[in-house]
């Protein structure tokens, strides 16, 4: 049985080598000890100054710089692949991060789950809302904001600005958060004029500059005169739409400087609120909440100042709706409501508050939205 003896010898050799490596490696693999404070890691899928999603997160992360005891590590342009696992592992092993925010939607499954299982005493909070108490590790969690209320307000401004009664939406992927925004945008516009329709175009990716420009052009060619979007960097959509003379509603961050005349308003993230909250819990040694949600009233989402394209009637309705939302109890999605295939999604009298968890699994487009989820 030569095979067996060789493999046994090899086994012995390798285990000795492994043990030696372990001894040498021990000081390096042990987590760097820090006297006080904590290291917080941020991972972005794109450049952190993209006028959009990543910029909003980076601005939020920036708010932690002023907090004593918090060190920041950031990495941008990390693909939603096994790359993000490597980034998370190096943040834990090399930087000693005790809390990591992988900010992109596609990071969660399977990457965050896998790494969270591997490092049970490091906390992971993922932006987007897929964490489930029953299925996922307890050192992971999710945070998100009810930004669809912002898109509803965008819709109110758009409903007053549109002349063709057609508005357009450039969307990345048909996931619940995007569908919520598309639907809320139309419902906001329909609160002004129920004859308004919204055309949606899915580009299939979070960031495809040329395709986003093409989609914007196609929407305007079909008569849409107010455009908004849900892609990572709304810069291209904003510039293309304004260049064609259409109005723009912003998303993620303020794009007003790109088109001051054509920018109506925009739904912006205010992540500083969330990140500061987590950092304070972390420094105080308190457990971090696993599931964090908030809207305009909680300071998670804010609106860009209204642009010159919004008529006075629009301003009035916009302010009134904003006040009502801040008061609480406002529902964007309420019955009777049908999807655009004719199925009833909410019976008359039924209203979903912003916290309704059903909304986070939205898989339909409401009546009045032209487009399809697949």
Partner 1 sequence: MEGDIGLWGVPLAILGGAIRVSTPFIFVSLGETITERSGRINLGLEGTLVFGAMAAYAIAVETGSPWIGVLAAMVAGAGFGLLHGWICSFPKVNDIAVGIALMLFGMGLAFFFGKPYIQPSAPNLPAIPLGDWSSLPQVRAALNVNVLFLVGAALALALWWAFKNTKIGLIVRVVGDSADAARAMGLSPNTVRLFATAAGGALAAIGGAYLSLYYPGSWNERLSSGQGLMAVALVIFARWNPLGCFAAALLFGGAGALGPALQSVGVTQGYYLFYAAPYVLTLIVMIAASSPGRALAGAPGELSITR
Which residue, 244 or 302, is less far from partner 1 as judged by CB? Answer: 244
Residue 234 CB, shortest distance to partner 1, in Å, is 11
Cα–Cα distance measured from residue 251 to residue 231, given in angstroms and rounded to the nearest whole number: 8
Evaluate whether 283 touches 38 at the Cβ level (below 8 Å): yes
At 123 the three-state DSSP class reads: strand
Task: Name, in order, each residue with C-beta under 8 angstroms of 132's C-beta and a sequence gap of 6 or more.
Answer: none
> How many angstroms from the chain centroid is the CA of residue 114?
21
Residue 105 CB, shortest distance to partner 1, in Å, is 16
Residue 372 CB, shortest distance to partner 1, in Å, is 4
Q: Is 24 exposed, middle or buried (0-12, 13-18, 19+ CB in 10 A)?
A: exposed
Residue 312 CB, shortest distance to partner 1, in Å, is 26
Residue 164 CB, shortest distance to partner 1, in Å, is 7
CA nearest neighbour of 74 among 106, 100, 43, 95: 43
Which residue, 116 or 366, is less far from partner 1 as judged by CB? Answer: 366
CA nearest neighbour of 53 among 103, 87, 102, 100: 103
Which residue, 145 or 174, is less far from partner 1 as judged by CB? Answer: 174
Which residue, 96 or 266, is less far from partner 1 as judged by CB? Answer: 266
Cα–Cα distance measured from residue 73 to residue 61, given in angstroms and rounded to the nearest whole number: 10
Residue 179 CB, shortest distance to partner 1, in Å, is 13
Place of tokens 């019955």: 335
Chain residues binding partner 1 by CB under 8 A are 46-47, 49-51, 77, 164, 199-204, 207-215, 217-223, 232-233, 235-236, 239-240, 244-245, 258, 370-372, 374
Which residue, 53 or 269, is less far from partner 1 as judged by CB? Answer: 53
Which residue, 5 or 374, is less far from partner 1 as judged by CB? Answer: 374
């Amino acid at each position: 049985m030569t095979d067996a003896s060789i493999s046994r010898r090899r086994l012995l050799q390798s285990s000795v080598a492994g043990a030696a490596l372990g001894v040498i490696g021990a000081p390096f693999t042990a987590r760097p000890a820090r006297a006080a404070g904590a290291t917080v890691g941020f991972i972005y899928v794109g450049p952190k100054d993209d006028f959009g999603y990543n910029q909003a997160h980076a601005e939020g992360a920036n708010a932690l710089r002023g907090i004593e005891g918090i060190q920041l590590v950031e990495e941008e342009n990390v693909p939603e692949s096994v790359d993000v696992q490597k980034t998370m592992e190096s943040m834990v092993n090399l930087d000693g991060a005790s809390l990591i925010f992988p900010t992109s939607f596609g990071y969660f499954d399977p990457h965050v789950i896998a790494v969270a299982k591997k490092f049970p005493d490091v906390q992971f909070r993922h932006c987007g809302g897929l964490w489930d108490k029953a299925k996922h590790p307890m050192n992971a969690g999710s945070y998100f904001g009810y930004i669809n209320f912002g898109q509803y307000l965008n819709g109110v401004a758009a409903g007053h600005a549109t002349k063709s009664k057609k508005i357009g939406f450039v969307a990345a992927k048909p996931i619940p958060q995007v569908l919520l925004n598309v639907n809320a945008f139309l419902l906001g516009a329909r609160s002004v004029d129920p004859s308004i329709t919204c055309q949606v175009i899915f580009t299939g990716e979070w960031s495809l500059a040329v395709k986003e420009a093409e989609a914007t052009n196609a929407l305007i060619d079909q008569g849409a005169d107010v455009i908004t979007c849900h892609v990572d960097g709304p810069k291209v959509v904003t510039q293309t739409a304004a260049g064609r003379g259409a109005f723009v509603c912003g998303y993620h961050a303020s794009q007003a400087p790109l088109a001051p005349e054509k920018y109506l308003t925009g739904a912006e993230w205010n992540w500083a609120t969330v990140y500061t909250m987590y950092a304070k819990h972390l420094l105080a040694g308190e457990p971090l909440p696993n599931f964090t949600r908030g809207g305009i009233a909680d300071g998670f989402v804010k609106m860009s100042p209204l642009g010159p394209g919004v008529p006075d009637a629009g301003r009035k309705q916009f302010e009134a709706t904003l006040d009502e939302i801040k008061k609480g109890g406002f529902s964007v999605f309420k019955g009777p409501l049908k999807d655009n295939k004719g199925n009833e999604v909410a019976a008359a009298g039924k209203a979903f508050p912003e916290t309704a968890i059903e909304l986070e699994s939205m898989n339909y487009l409401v009546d009045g939205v032209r487009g399809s989820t697949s």
